[in-house]
Amino acid sequence: MDNQLQDHALRYAQLCDKLGTHYAPTGLYEKNKALQFAGRVSCNVNRLETGSWGEIVLDYEVGASGVADGGWFKATFKFYSDWALFQTSDPAAANYISAEYHAGPLVQGQSPATVQSLSIRFDQKGHERPFQKAIIVDVVDGYLNAGDHIIIRLGDRRSGGAGTRVQTFVENNFRFRCYVDPLGSSRFIAVPGDVVIDMFAGEPVRWLLAGPRFARVGERLPFRFSLQDRWGNACQAGELPVGSALRLLAYAGERIVYDKTHALPNDGWASIGVDDLPSAAGELRLVAELLDNSAVKPAIAYISIDDSFPVARSYYADLHVHAHDTVGTNSPAYNAAYARDIGGIDVLGYTANDFQITDENWKQGVATVEKFNQPGNFVCYPVQEWCGSSTAGGDHNVVFLGDTAPEFPYNQKGEHNRTFTWNEDMKGSSVELGRWPVEELWAAYVDDPEHHLIMPHVGGRRYIPDWHHPKLERLVEIASSWGHFGWLYQDVISRGYKIGVAASGDEHRGRPGGGPPGTQVFGVYGGLTGVLSDTLDRQSIGRALRARHTWATTGEHTAVLVNSGRYVQGDEFTQHGPAVVNYQFLGTAGWDEIAAYDHSGLIWKRNLHEELGYSDRLFRLRWGGARVPDRYRWAVWNGRISIRNATIHSFRSHGFEHGEENCWRAGPTEIGFRSDTYGDADSVEIDASNLLHAVIRVEGTIDSYVKVGDPLKRNPFVHAPDFSWEITGKQLLDEGGLRLELGGTELFLALERLTEASLPLRLEGKLEVNATNAPFGHRPVYLTGRQRDDSKVWSSALFIDFANT
């Protein structure tokens, strides 16, 4: 720095000789020349535990540019982050942010800055993707000198507030990227040097068990056992006591058939793979315990072992996973390793938003795919996400199934196959248009359909089923971390499209393979696609995917298997007379309800609570759905259920994804609840006496996404801002269940009786489908099931052409 000052002083002396007589503050030239033109930012922390509370201070030192009256400063971070929403209305409340001005030292002859105040606000879309969330400071009535400071406190605690709750998921090098508008022209320049914070996992609180749900006798049963913190992050082995160990027991009925202790690794993730489980016919129940740690409760998983299964074992795929080279978290290698070693899945699709990925990043991503692709152990595909807006068809993923290099970003003619090019590294600001609309995407790959799987999905730019290409679009994604979209499958089936089901993470948070949600946009567990394939390699998995031999789950290692004779889910065939459809549901939490649908809607249903016998005391309130089918779909529920003329003995919740969703006793006869739903449902189960004479009342509010404004204030859902519903206990006892529709995208309330018996984990049976074709010439039939915890599963349809009808 001293050498720099000497150089600047020498240069200024030479400049003064040239200028002759003039006036300027003494030493200011040299001082300002020593500063970065756009300034610099520092932070009081460099490591934070995920989901923790604190006060984070950003200190912006104004650069040589100064900041003119009306200029702006922005501290931005990526949109996928679920850091709690900031507010500016209540200094004593949580997540309050403030900005204050501190003058820097003046030199002789320099006038002080004239700024009167700083105004601060938060905008979830205040900057460009991916750094869209923005804390914005406006300079009011005056200017700032070079060397002055803007101090931003995130979670300002000086008035008694709780601080701010930081993002809930692990990220290597979380970044605040800062920008300044020095001239007040609304044209920003980047402040050099991002603020970098490592987000690390907390203490372990639970096990994650992941492996096959079914297998034939004698097959290898690879399973993963991983410790997670309260937000679902993979814990680090180095944070555990030395010698921490997993005790794993396997039961066949009540008989222990496996009992071993496995030492956890000394570094890396607190995770271990087990590959020596017994594989004899029957139902295997696994119990994982962390020795010498009562804070982590034992966890259970199930494996059904039977030679009647259609393939050697169940395979699970997550074909939609983003890394930090587009809009995800952590590197492609980190995500692939996580999917394999924590998620315990078999197939991964490394996915790049096509408009945002640079040529070099795509090249590195594909190299990672090739490194991790190991036939028989783990299959990896590169995936292009074609990011067309809904008016052009909506989002579609292209899974490159072959071993040859993908024709992306460019085909052999040198034409690029993106929607368009628009990323931070592009030259200029105009859009270079590519494949738009979706017909041009199809044209890029239609000459080789067997090596391409195009999979439309909801996500951010919702797929519109007005478009469909039967040779290329073989699966549709109906569940992801964005929500549950069973209505989408019913839509495409009702149009006569022969398309199967898929579910994926659409993972933005570095936790592929059915990863847990955070808060805000990605609010449910990432989905998984179950695959019926004889072997685990690209060619076999690719053929199974294109044959629609799949089922979709909401992230659990569950399964639904459907067949009619020798035909399995996804097959199309001709049938003479009625068709017998056989099914097996293999679950983890007990099946509530299973159902069958065709093009017209529901055609058959089993309510397991009713079959097992209703209790006279047990019932539940269930609520769910979404406000809209598009990106910011979630509904924010705040409500109460009150029961008059009855006593509430106990209650418990199901379906809550994290600790900020909860229910509580609000009084002797009332239970309060607060949760968000994204097409999923949450519930409170209640044990109450004297239901016959009780009156049950449910009331509350439905709010929505806050883009700009005060998150402490309501943003009511315009079509159903409030709900109020009253029934008698006698009605509930007589009907078994009642439902109130609230509009939006399947928003509802339901009061339902429950059984006291254990719900089945494995459910088998058959149904007969009448020999009637739809107007489009065949009859599609698919099955779906819901478990007690609201986890769901869907089968690809059987496409039955009933002859002579």
Question: Do the beta carbons of residue 454 and residue 542 sit within 8 Å?
Answer: no
Widest pairwise Cα distance in the chain: 105
SS3 736: coil
Rounded to 5°, the CA angle 220-222-228 comes to: 165
Q: What is the mean pLDDT of residues 481-498?
A: 97
Question: Do the beta carbons of residue 223 and residue 314 sit within 8 Å?
Answer: no
Task: Indicate the pLDDT class of residue 520, thresholds 50, 70 and 90.
Answer: confident
Q: What is the mean pLDDT of residues 155-178?
A: 96
Residue 425 scores a pLDDT above 70? no
CA 710 to each of CA 88, 542, 715, 803: distance values in angstroms, whole numbers, following the listed order:
7, 48, 9, 62
Lowest mean pLDDT among 673-682, 706-715, 789-798: 706-715
For residue 602, count other CB atoms closer than 10 A to its CB: 11
Task: Indicate the pLDDT class of residue 441, thresholds 50, 70 and 90.
Answer: very high
Q: What is the mean pLDDT of residues 638-653?
A: 96
pLDDT, one tens digit per residue, over 696-709 is: 999 999 998 887 77
Q: What is the mean pLDDT of residues 164-186?
A: 94
Supply the pLDDT for residue 1: 54
Residue 646 scores a pLDDT above 80? yes
Q: Which residues partner with 262 through β-bridges?
A: 246
Nearest one of 169, 81, 55 to 658, comparing CA atoms:
169
Supply the pLDDT for residue 513: 95
Task: Indicate the pLDDT class of residue 32, thresholds 50, 70 and 90.
Answer: confident
User: What six digits make up the tokens of 98?
Assistant: 């403030």
> Pairing mode, if any, of strands 347-353 and 379-386?
parallel
Residue 39 scores a pLDDT above 70? yes
End-to-end CA distance of the chain: 89
State the residue for tokens 């096990």: 207
Lowest mean pLDDT among 24-38, 557-571, 729-743: 24-38
Identity (one letter) of the amino acid at 402? G
User: What six digits make up the tokens of 290?
Assistant: 């962390």
Residue 805 scores a pLDDT above 70? no
Q: Which residues partner with 54 through β-bridges?
A: 164
Question: Do the beta carbons of residue 706 and residue 714 sit within 8 Å?
Answer: no
pLDDT, one tens digit per residue, over 613-631 is: 999 999 999 999 999 999 8
Per residue, what are the HEC states of 381-409?
EEEEEECCCHHHCCCEEEEECCCCCCCCC
pLDDT, one tens digit per residue, over 302-348 is: 999 999 999 999 999 999 999 999 888 999 999 999 999 999 999 99
pLDDT, one tens digit per residue, over 279-300 is: 999 999 999 999 989 899 999 9
Task: Indicate the pLDDT class of residue 429, thresholds 50, 70 and 90.
Answer: low
Supply the pLDDT for residue 370: 97
Half-sphere exposure of 729 (CA within 13 A, CB side): 21
Residue 426 scores a pLDDT above 60? no
Question: Do the beta carbons of residue 654 and residue 788 sit within 8 Å?
Answer: yes
CA 435 to each of CA 51, 308, 355, 418, 451: distance values in angstroms, whole numbers, following the listed order:
41, 46, 10, 6, 19
Supply the pLDDT for residue 599: 98
Half-sphere exposure of 714 (CA within 13 A, CB side): 11
Supply the pLDDT for residue 518: 82
Task: Indicate the pLDDT class of residue 400, thresholds 50, 70 and 90.
Answer: very high
Nearest one of 755, 765, 791, 288 to 588, comparing CA atoms:
791
Residue 108 scores a pLDDT above 80? yes
Task: Indicate the pLDDT class of residue 415, thresholds 50, 70 and 90.
Answer: confident
Supply the pLDDT for residue 428: 52
Supply the pLDDT for residue 712: 87
Gap between the Cα atoms of 480 and 493, Å rounded: 19
User: What six digits make up the tokens of 31?
Assistant: 């001082």
Supply the pLDDT for residue 128: 87
Q: Which residue has the higher pLDDT, 421 or 551?
A: 551
**In percent, how much of the chain has pLDDT > 70?**
98
pTM for the complete prediction? 0.94
Half-sphere exposure of 748 (CA within 13 A, CB side): 18
Lowest mean pLDDT among 13-17, 144-148, 352-356, 611-615: 13-17
Task: Indicate the pLDDT class of residue 444, thresholds 50, 70 and 90.
Answer: very high
How far does CA 348 lie from the centroid of its chain?
Answer: 16
Q: Which residues partner with 638 through β-bridges?
A: 674, 701
Gap between the Cα atoms of 766 and 772, Å rounded: 18
Supply the pLDDT for residue 3: 67
Q: What is the mean pLDDT of residues 751-760?
A: 98
Nearest one of 493, 477, 472 to 528, comparing CA atoms:
477
DSSP letter at 359 equals H
Task: Indicate the pLDDT class of residue 138, thresholds 50, 70 and 90.
Answer: very high
Q: What is the mean pLDDT of residues 45-61?
A: 97
Residue 222 scores a pLDDT above 90? yes
Lowest mean pLDDT among 51-55, 454-458, 518-522, 557-561: 518-522
State the residue for tokens 């549950």: 484
Question: Do the beta carbons of residue 296 and residue 327 sit within 8 Å?
Answer: no
Residue 718 scores a pLDDT above 70? yes
Supply the pLDDT for residue 30: 81
Per residue, what are the HEC states of 231-270?
CCCECEHHHCCCCCEEEEEEEECCEEEEEEEEECCCCCEC
Residue 531 scores a pLDDT above 70? yes
Q: Which residues partner with 750 through β-bridges?
A: 622, 739
State the residue for tokens 């109450």: 688
Gap between the Cα atoms of 119 and 88, Å rounded: 10
Supply the pLDDT for residue 423: 61
Average pLDDT for the chain: 94
